[in-house]
Amino acid sequence: MKKKILSTFLIFLFLGCSDNSVTSSEGSVEIDLNKVYKWNMVTTWPKNYPGLGLAAENLSKYVDEMSNGRLKIKVYGAGEMVPAMEVFDAVSRGTVQIGHGASYYWTGKLKSSQFYTAVPFGLTAQEINSWIHWGGGQELWEEAYAPFNLMPLAGGNTGVQMAGWFNKEINSIQDLKGLKMRSPGLAGEIFSRAGAETVVLPGSDIFLALQQGVVDAAEWVGPFND
């Protein structure tokens, strides 16, 4: 099924200006190039959120243009169709066709997923893109996601993430003891081992959580989005 969906998607991209019907290389999926296909994309971001949310909107726009209007992708912000942290499951179940989010949100389901977002002291944006596209990373990613009925693709890169924002000065490792901090992935695990209590929250909930004292610190993306 994943191969058929991907081949359908690629046929749209490469033959978007044709008015004929074609059959895939497998010979089993006939595609009417005059038919309009409508897909839904759910995201972990607020609607039209700068950078992250707009990356999903741009993908929808580019696919519409490249398919000559035959493949339309409607983008839903976090909570509009499914909660932010249920994007992975929604696509895995087939409830929607596409999800857009940060792969390290899914480390509770798949530990290796964190390597495709950000790793403390890890790869830069250029290095991780090089690894995924030309260093074998994509093949490993597909293998890891296959049991979940998912086909992963890179959909944006914010670059290196920062250490976080704190409601008090951090001058020693002792200052992390008991600190409630929003931080996912390997970074969250590091803070947990250092004595902090880490939680995962969608971006839209972070500011309010800080205001209300639900968390004492938070790591999001970087200065622009923060």
Nearest in space to 73 (alpha carbons), one of 84, 83, 63: 63
Residue 31 has pLDDT above 80, yes or no: no
pLDDT value of position 160: 81
Give the tens place of pLDDT for each residue, 14-26. Answer: 333 444 555 555 5
Three-class HEC string of the chain: CHHHHHHHHHHHHHCCCCCCEEECCCCCCEEECCCCEEEEEEECCCCCCCCHHHHHHHHHHHHHHHCCCCEEEEEECCCCCCCHHHHHHHHHHCCCCEEECCHHHHCCCCHHHHHHCCCCCCCCHHHHHHHHHHCCHHHHHHHHHHHHCCCCCCCCCCCCCCCCEECCCCCCHHHHCCCEEECCHHHHHHHHHCCCEEECCCHHHHHHHHHCCCCCEECCCCCCCC
Split at pLDDT 50, 70, 90, the class of 159 is confident
* Chain centroid offset of residue 131 CA: 17
Tell me the CATH number for domain 165-218.
3.40.190.10
φ and ψ at residue 15, rounded to 5 degrees:
-120, 25
Give the tens place of pLDDT for each residue, 52-66. Answer: 999 999 999 999 999
Show the CA angle centred on residue 156, arms to residues 182 and 145, nearest 5°: 75
More confident residue, 29 or 134: 134
Residue with tokens 């495709």: 116
Least confident of 39-53, 61-75, 149-163, 177-191: 149-163
More confident residue, 225 or 179: 179
As a whole number of angstroms, the distance between CA 7 and CA 86 comes to 26
Residue 79 has pLDDT above 70, yes or no: yes
Q: What are the extents of the domains in the chain?
A: 2-148, 165-218
Q: Which amino acid makes up residue 39?
A: W
Nearest in space to 97 (alpha carbons), one of 149, 25, 157, 30: 149
Task: Provide the mean pLDDT of the chain.
Answer: 87
Residue 122 to residues 16, 117, 119, Cα–Cα distance (Å):
39, 10, 5
pLDDT value of position 102: 94
Superfamily of domain 2-148: Bacterial extracellular solute-binding protein, family 7 (3.40.190.170)
More confident residue, 33 or 215: 215
Q: Which amino acid makes up residue 132?
A: I
Report the percentage of the chain scoring pLDDT > 70.
87
Mean pLDDT of 91-118: 94
Give the tens place of pLDDT for each residue, 172-206. Answer: 999 999 999 999 999 999 999 999 999 999 988 99
Task: Report how far apart the first and last C-alpha atoms of the chain are (Å, whole number).
Answer: 39
Residue 128 has pLDDT above 60, yes or no: yes
Show the CA angle centred on residue 154, arms to residues 74 and 162, nearest 5°: 105
Residue 100 has pLDDT above 90, yes or no: yes
Residue 153 has pLDDT above 70, yes or no: yes
